[in-house]
Chain A
Amino acid sequence: MKVTAQPSADTLTLLLDGELDASSAIVLDTELAKPDILNYRKVLIDCAKLSYISSAGLGVFISHLQRFQDANVKLVFFNMQEKVFNVFEILGLDALMTIVPSLTEAEAA
């Protein structure tokens, strides 16, 4: 699992590459736990190269979402593969998180 951070003015984009499981979730957790992430208005998660997610990966996002909301930081997922979106759907997380098809929609969200 590789996480690449691309900061811009008020937006941080995180590109996820690989499989997010109980072994690799710590890499993403470390990135999302950084205090200065709350200085951004938006955190965009580019899921184009995220080929797998388990409950441990979902747990990382769930554990930080309220902290982001409390700080008025919007968390937006985009470019998600269908099989990965399906995992969010099975738990009903697609209704509780912002998941959009493309970068354009993520920037507008």
Chain B
Amino acid sequence: MKSALRIACSRANLQQVRDFVRNYLNARQLSEKAVNQVVLAVDEVVANFIIHANGEDETQFLDLKLDFDDHDLNVEIADNGDTIFQPGPHKDPDMRAYIQEGRKGGMGMTLVTRLMDRVEFFTRGNHTVCHLSKHLA
């Protein structure tokens, strides 16, 4: 079963994204923790696209697609804006240093890579696409 959602690039739409993913996963017998982990990974990538790639320009939009291949969840998040957005190489953040420095950001993609089995960013024409996948037994 596939499911799709299009949202405008406003952080106010993050709730809608999370509800969309939760509703899709709730059809399966998954733990609350497993569902929350996928919801969080999608939320982090979408927030990055909205805030960093599109500057919260509500005339821009993102397309989300969810699909199960047996027990493997595949998520596609496609940015329809023209800014190519590909996060740099993943580094393990030093959380003690983050606390000392009072840092607010820089943890989102770390969470995504720790939560999902596979994380890929690539370009399709002038647009950036993110693929996430996770085995959910």
A interface with B by C-beta (< 8 Å): 19, 21-23, 52, 54-56, 58-60, 62-67, 82-83, 86-87, 90-93, 96
Whether the Cβ atoms of A55 and B18 lie closer than 8 Å is no
Q: Specify which of A23, A63, A82, A96 is in contact with B103 (CB 8 Å cutoff).
A: A63
Cβ–Cβ < 8 Å partners of B27 in chain A: none
- The answer, yes or no, to whether B90 is at the interface (CB within 8 Å) is no
Q: Which one of B7-15, B65-73, B77-85, B127-135 is at the interface?
A: B7-15
Number of residues of chain B lying within 8 A (CB) of chain A: 33
Given known A-B contacts A55-B105, A59-B104, A63-B104, A82 and B33 have beta carbons under 8 A apart: yes
A-B contact pairs, 27 of them (CB 8 A): A19-B15, A21-B18, A21-B47, A22-B11, A22-B47, A22-B50, A22-B51, A52-B40, A54-B40, A55-B105, A55-B108, A56-B105, A58-B107, A60-B104, A62-B98, A62-B103, A63-B104, A64-B102, A82-B32, A86-B37, A90-B114, A90-B115, A91-B93, A91-B110, A92-B95, A96-B95, A96-B96
Q: A55 — which chain B residues lie within 8 A by C-beta?
A: 44, 105, 107-108, 110-111
Q: B1-41 toward A: CB 8 Å interface, digit per residue (1/0)?
A: 00000000001101100100000000000001100110110
Judged by a CB distance under 8 angstroms, whether B99 is at the interface is yes
In the complex, besides A52-B18, A87-B40, 10 extra interface pairs with C-beta distance below 8 angstroms are A21-B47, A22-B50, A23-B15, A55-B108, A56-B47, A58-B107, A62-B103, A63-B104, A66-B102, A83-B32
Looking across the interface, which residue of chain B has its beta carbon closest to that of A97? B99
A73 to chain B, nearest CB (A): 14
Q: Knowing A19-B18, A52-B39, A83-B32, say if A93 contacts B95 (CB, 8 Å).
A: yes
- In chain B, what residue has the closest Cβ to A83? B36
- CB-defined contacts of A64 to chain B, threshold 8 Å: 102
Cα A90 to Cα B115 with chains together (Å): 8
B103→A59 contact, CB < 8 A: yes
